[in-house]
Structure 1
Amino acid sequence: MGCDGGTIPKRHELVKGPKKVEKVDRNAELVARWFYCALSQERLRKPIVACELGRLYNKDAVIEFILDKSPDKPHADSAAHIKNMKNVIELNLSDNPAWAGDKGNTKGDKYDDQCAQFICPVVGLEMNGKHRFCVLLNCGCVFSERALKEIKSDVCHKCGANFQEKDIIPLNGVKEEVEELRRKMEERKLMAKTLKKSKKTKAVESVSLPGQDEESPGSSQKSNENIGTKSHCVSSTKTKVTASSSSSETETKSSLSAIKRPVPVGDRKSEAYKSIFTSHSSAKRTKDQSSNWVTHTAYYF
């Protein structure tokens, strides 16, 4: 059996066998995880944050993802567990003095060994994926796993903050480590919710219960004594009120008679206003000075 032109097909062209599993280049995978953001696939640049599963992100990419959580956004599944900025840790990284920046090998005429931008401040290992690195959950300082094992301490080697073994989060761990970190993350969230509920219930109870002191055993005797003294005072005040009522009536009558209406101050009024009334000096004229038909008010002189 032949084709046009007399060509003879081979067996692999006619029979479809199983597809070969494509192997991912180890170096390419390390570069993608340690040099690029897991969400935006852009080059990692400060400020850099890490989630509780140990993945690395650019801080601006995380903020954009929180503001716009559209399902069609690429690589959104890698940050689905991030609800707000409290779910990420801003990394306190140590710069590598040997890093030449983005202008290291622009021509492409020499081998690029992927020099890391950050190093371990204790041991000096480069953060390029060849060595395991960890971040402390409390302060965000990043160290190599070798430094934490060689120099065992409960105090951060960089900032001096206290930490425990459960606060150590491995960066870009394997699948088993990611599952363990996810379990710890769920436990922390559940613990935070229960603590928040307990605080709310305590606040409600403190508001609902009135602040009354318990009565002492001798308080009943003191109350009886107070009631007796109060009744004696009331009887004495009644006699005083009846005696003083008659005197108060006479005093009120004399005080009402003595009350006079205050005289308004006339100096504040102008002369034009005063001339309207008959009490003004201009209105007080004799009959010879004023004519019969001239009047100052409605009444004739």
Structure 2
Amino acid sequence: MGCDGGTIPKRHELVKGPKKVEKVDKNAELAAKWKYCALSQEKLRRPIVSCELGRLYNKDSVIEYLLDKSAERPNAEAVTHIRGTKDIKELNLTDNPEWEGERRNTKGDRYEDVHCGMFICPVVGLEMNGRHRFCYLQSCGCVFSDRALKEVKTEICHKCGDPFQDSDVVVLNGTKEEVEKLREKMEQRRVKAKVKKSKKSKAAESVSTASEPKDDTQVMVAQNGEGQSDKESSQSVTDVAGPSGSSKGSKSSLLPLSASKRSIQEMEEKSEAFKSLFTTHSSAKRTKDQISNWVTHTPYHF
């Protein structure tokens, strides 16, 4: 079994053994997690958000997914647990002063450090490149390294000063076990939120049902009060009008009220200049010669 050149094939060329397992480059895996969006696979750019499982996304890509969930996307499984904007948190990141971005190696003749991260820990100064464990706070969105939270133990955020609890700490790009724990916490929070909503709805229904009979009683009382007021008013009218129903009694009842009012011209303490301002003054009265057969727009026009 020779070839044209008289070569003899060897065993490894004729017999195919099992395929070797391809090993994933760790640097490429870390770069894919910490420098690229988990949904769109584009480079991370501000504003950057994270879900309750600790994955990093571009905010624009998440909003596009929420607006149109029917569109086909390569990594749609990474965002199935996101129901709305309340399930994501915008991260408050600290820029790395040594990061130059794409401007550093535009010509391709310089060494590009793969492990150089875009962001750092504001407390310790570690780069967020995947080699160190990082986490963020759900209360404020500030990002720190795990070493900073362990060495400086406080109940107040190191960056913004807002208080937080241990349950607010979410690990970024954690292991499978950590992701499973975060998923369990997420499900527990959602169950508690549903229970609170159901209790609030039941309380609102009970308040509405309790207020309905009160409203009916108030309406009845108001109707009874109106009836009583109508009766009282009718009785007062009959008392004033008298048994014959004439209107003399009503005029007689109004006379004391009008008589109690004093005329301005009768007030001795007022001056004549002040009294002349009113039409009841003698200077404002007209004689018979001044009175015409027709009436103008203003009856006191001369």
TM-score scaled by length of structure 1 = 0.70
Alpha-carbon separation, structure 2, partners of 1:162 and 1:113: 37
Indicate the SS of the match to 2:111.
coil
Map of 1:15 onto structure 2:
15
1:84-107 per-position Cα deviation (integer Å, ceiling 9, x unaligned): 111111000011112112201222
C-alpha distance in 2 between matches for 1:250 and 1:206? 53
Note if contact 2:241-2:248 (Cα within 8 Å) is conserved in structure 1.
Answer: no
Shift in Å, 1:108: 2.4
Q: Does 1:131 align with 2:128?
A: no
3-state secondary structure, aligned to 1:177? helix
Task: Report deviation, 1:60.
Answer: 0.4
Residue 184 of structure 1: aligned partner: 185
Instruction: Report the Cα distance in structure 2 between the residues aligned to 1:40 and 1:47, rounded to whole angstroms.
Output: 14
Distance 2:125 2:86 in 1: 30
Task: Indicate the SS of the match to 1:209.
Answer: helix
* Matching residue's letter, 1:28: A
Residue 250 to residue 34, structure 1, CA distance change in 2 (3 Å) = closer
Instruction: Classify 1:248/1:183 alpha carbon distance in 2 versus 1 (closer, same or farther; 3 Å).
Output: same
Distance 1:164 1:19 in 2: 50
Q: In the alignment, which residue of structure 2 is the partner of 1:38?
A: 38
Superposition RMSD in Å: 3.0
Structure 1 segment 111-190 matched on structure 2, within 5 A: 111-114=111-114, 115-190=116-191
Provide the C-alpha distance between the structure 2 equivalents of 1:212 and 1:77, rounded to a whole number of angstroms.
52
In structure 1, how many angstroms separate the alpha carbons of the residues matched to 2:294 and 2:188? 87
1:2 positional shift: 4.4
**Would you say how many aligned residue pairs link Structure 1 and Structure 2?**
237
CA distance in 2, matches of 1:152, 1:165: 11
Q: Distance in 1 between matches of 2:39 and 2:83?
A: 14
CA offset digits 1:109-147 (Å, max 9, x no partner) = 232113211111111111111111000011000000000
> For residues 243 and 188 of structure 1, do their structure 2 counterparts lie closer, same or farther at Cα, with a shift above 3 Å needed?
closer
Change (3 A) 1:241 1:267: closer
Is the contact between residue 241 and residue 247 of structure 2 (CA under 8 Å) also seen in structure 1? no
- 1:16-75 deviation digits (Å, cap 9, x = unpaired): 322211111111111111011111111101000011111100000111111121363111
Counterpart residue number, 2:243: 246
Describe the shift of the 1:250–1:160 C-alpha distance in structure 2 as closer, same or farther (beyond 3 A).
Answer: closer
Question: Where do 5+ consecutive residues of structure 1 fail to align?
Answer: 214-229, 253-264, 269-301
Deviation at 1:188, TM superposition (A): 0.8
Q: TM-score, normalised by structure 2?
A: 0.70
Report the CA distance between 1:13 and its aligned residue.
3.3
CA distance in 1, matches of 2:203, 2:6: 91
In 1, are the aligned partners of 2:94 and 2:121 still within 8 Å (CA)?
yes
CA offset digits 1:241-297 (Å, max 9, x no partner): 699753425859xxxxxxxxxxxx9869xxxxxxxxxxxxxxxxxxxxxxxxxxxxx
Query: What is the identity, as a one-letter code, of the residue corresponding to 1:248?
Result: G
Is the Cα contact below 8 Å between 2:238 and 2:245 reproduced in 1? no
Instruction: Report sequence identity in percent.
Output: 59
In the alignment, which residue of structure 2 is the partner of 1:91? 91
Q: 1:242 to 1:132 in 2, by over 3 A?
A: closer
Does residue 75 (structure 1) correspond to residue 75 (structure 2)? The answer is yes
Whole-angstrom CA distance in 1 between matches of 2:62 and 2:240:
87
User: Which residue does the alignment assign to 1:196?
Assistant: 197
From the CA coordinates, give the structure whose radius of gyration is larger: 1
